[in-house]
């Protein structure tokens, strides 16, 4: 089985790829920004990042304005994935353009390197906003950053990551009321007044103020990170009765047993209890309710840009950090699993050179966001230490030439508690995220690495770092819901090929081109 490598450390990795390309013409091509489309003015960029928004189970249904204003006005990526299905390591991948084994953020805890001092000294100091500042972008952040951000052990609220001109970051994990912000390094406490404190609206209002005050001589970058649809699922007052008849979808793998899957998927009670079903249905409705405010945010922001006459020169990205499940394989609610409902994410982009109403099949990862944003800004991508590749060529081929990756890595390091849960003694130690009926959503041995491929085979191959050395293989063409583990039916030669690809991807330290195209 391939080892789940830790990498050689984010600050020690250096690359020589493209070092020989010193011909001025080549450098001119590398540094040419979206202004090549015919405008001399650098393009503005906005990244809207939601928290735990799925795309497989209807998570985009409430986003009617967003789909019209971004998706229909530009490109919708039908095969967008997270490199890891958990908030902090995923967001760290977005910021750095690196796989988790290269930025070394393993989970949502400080001990797992989430917003730790080690993260701050290493990968955070090389995150893409720093390079945008070098391109003279005015940068603004508001909302959830990393789950442990602002803790006293991690520099407290006074720590402002490099590269940000305006910083309005949530301390800790997602909340809608009664939270603390770091506002440019100063503590700002908030209560439970909808008009003053509802975080999704506050993020929008402060971004509008930033746009009003910006310097018109330089482009801007906004990263807006609302809490929705993460728990505690607190919708705005006017939306708390919406979707009252909605239930989580009952198709696919819903309430199915985890047959031939790793141990964690074999432990849930099946069929699920009525209490679990009622709980997950309630969560499903409330998640949708919180997203209506995000949809309003997009609508207001687009109108603002239009009134400022900046809309046609602004790229707007809409995505999430990971997917989510509600009852799939009898797991009540969470993410952290290798299956499509947890690793697929929404991704829509509009902007200069992007033709409207595109539905793109090329697979992209959230590690590709940073190089794509830097590509738009005109930054020389050969100078950055990233695993992702720009997908500007996929959505705007008139601006860039490029090729899609044939396969990619998804990896996750499980979290558990060393002591057993008193409510579930039969399960023993090592588990976490346990719900009523003793259904646990995570464990130390929920540690895996997967190769997902689209070329020749629509296949997923996963290896677990557990006592069983468990392997799961799925044919997504014949089995889109991943009901059957076909490990024992697959040609051994293909399994060997997938294993070798996994080993290569897990050891990657080079640029995208170094490892996307081996066979």
Q: How many whole angstroms separate alpha carbon 513 and alpha carbon 402? A: 11
C-alpha torsion 423→428→433→439, nearest 10 = -70
Other beta carbons within 10 angstroms of residue 48's beta carbon come to 24
Buried b (16+ CB within 10 A) or exposed e, 165-193: bbbbbbbbbbbbeebbbbbeeeeeebeee
Q: How many whole angstroms separate alpha carbon 256 and alpha carbon 483? A: 8
To which residue do tokens 């990619």 refer? 408
Q: Quick one: CA dihedral 128, 138, 159, 196, positive or negative?
A: negative
Buried b (16+ CB within 10 A) or exposed e, 294-317: bbbbbbbbbebbeeeebbebbbbb
The answer to whether 81 and 349 have CB atoms below 8 angstroms apart is no
Q: How many whole angstroms separate alpha carbon 211 and alpha carbon 46? A: 11
Q: How many whole angstroms separate alpha carbon 294 and alpha carbon 307? A: 20
C-alpha pair distances (Å), 212 with each of 199, 208, 376: 20, 6, 23
Other beta carbons within 10 angstroms of residue 513's beta carbon come to 11
Among 87, 114, 440, 462, which one carries the catalytic annotation?
87
The answer to whether 75 and 305 have CB atoms below 8 angstroms apart is no
For residue 143, what is the enclosing H or E element?
strand 138-144
Q: How many whole angstroms separate alpha carbon 453 and alpha carbon 363? A: 9
87 is known as an active-site residue: yes
Q: What is the largest CA-CA distance in the chain?
A: 67
Q: How many whole angstroms separate alpha carbon 283 and alpha carbon 330? A: 15
Q: Quick one: CA dihedral 255, 260, 261, 266, positive or negative?
A: positive
To which residue do tokens 């002591």 refer? 419
Q: How many whole angstroms separate alpha carbon 254 and alpha carbon 482? A: 11
Annotated active-site positions, please? 87
């Amino acid at each position: 089985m391939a080892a789940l490598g830790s990498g050689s450390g984010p600050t020690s990795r250096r690359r020589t790829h493209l070092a020989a390309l010193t011909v001025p013409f080549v450098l001119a091509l590398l540094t040419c920004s979206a202004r090549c489309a015919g405008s001399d003015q650098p393009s503005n960029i906005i990244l809207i990042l939601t928290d735990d928004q799925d795309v497989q189970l209807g998570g985009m249904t409430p986003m009617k304005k967003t789909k019209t204003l971004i998706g229909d006005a530009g490109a919708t990526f039908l095969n967008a994935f997270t490199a890891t299905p958990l908030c902090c390591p995923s967001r760290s991948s977005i910021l750095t353009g690196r796989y988790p084994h290269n930025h070394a953020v393993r989970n949502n805890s400080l001990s797992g390197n989430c917003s730790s001092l080690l993260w701050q000294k290493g990968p955070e100091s090389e995150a893409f906003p720093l390079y945008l500042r070098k391109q003279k972008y005015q940068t603004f952040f508001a909302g959830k950053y990393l789950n442990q951000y602002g803790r006293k052990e991690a520099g407290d609220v006074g720590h402002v990551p490099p590269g940000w001109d305006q910083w309005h970051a949530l301390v800790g994990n997602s909340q809608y009321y009664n939270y603390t912000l770091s506002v440019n390094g100063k503590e700002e406490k908030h209560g439970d007044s909808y008009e003053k404190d509802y975080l999704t609206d506050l993020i929008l209002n402060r971004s509008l103020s930033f746009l009003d005050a910006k310097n018109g001589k330089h482009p801007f970058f906004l990263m807006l990170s609302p809490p929705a649809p993460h728990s505690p699922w607190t919708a705005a007052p006017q939306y708390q009765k919406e979707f009252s008849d909605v239930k989580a979808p009952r198709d696919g793998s819903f309430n199915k047993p985890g047959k031939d899957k790793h141990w964690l998927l074999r432990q849930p009670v099946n069929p699920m209890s009525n209490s679990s079903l009622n709980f997950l249905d309630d969560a499903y409705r409330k998640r949708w309710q919180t997203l209506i405010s995000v949809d309003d945010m997009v609508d207001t922001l687009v109108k603002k840009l239009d009134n400022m006459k900046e809309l046609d020169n602004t790229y707007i990205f809409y995505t999430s950090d990971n997917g989510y499940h509600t009852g799939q394989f009898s797991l009540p609610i969470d993410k952290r699993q290798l299956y499509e409902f947890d690793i697929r994410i929404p991704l829509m982009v509009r902007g200069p050179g992007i033709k409207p109403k595109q539905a793109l099949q090329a697979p992209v990862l959230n590690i590709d966001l940073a190089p794509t944003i830097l590509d738009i800004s005109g930054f020389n991508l050969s100078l950055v230490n990233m695993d992702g590749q720009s997908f500007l060529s996929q959505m705007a081929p008139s601006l860039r030439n490029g090729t899609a990756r044939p396969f990619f890595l998804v990896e996750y390091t499980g979290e558990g508690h060393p002591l057993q849960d008193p409510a579930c003694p039969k399960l023993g130690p090592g588990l976490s995220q346990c719900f009523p009926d003793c259904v646990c959503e995570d464990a130390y041995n929920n540690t895996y690495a997967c190769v997902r491929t689209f070329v020749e085979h629509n296949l997923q191959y996963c290896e677990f770092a557990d006592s069983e050395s468990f392997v799961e293989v799925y044919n997504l063409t014949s089995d889109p819901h991943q009901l059957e583990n076909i490990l024992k039916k697959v040609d051994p030669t293909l399994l060997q090929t997938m294993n070798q690809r996994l080993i290569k991807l897990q050891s990657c330290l080079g640029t995208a081109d170094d490892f996307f195209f081996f066979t």
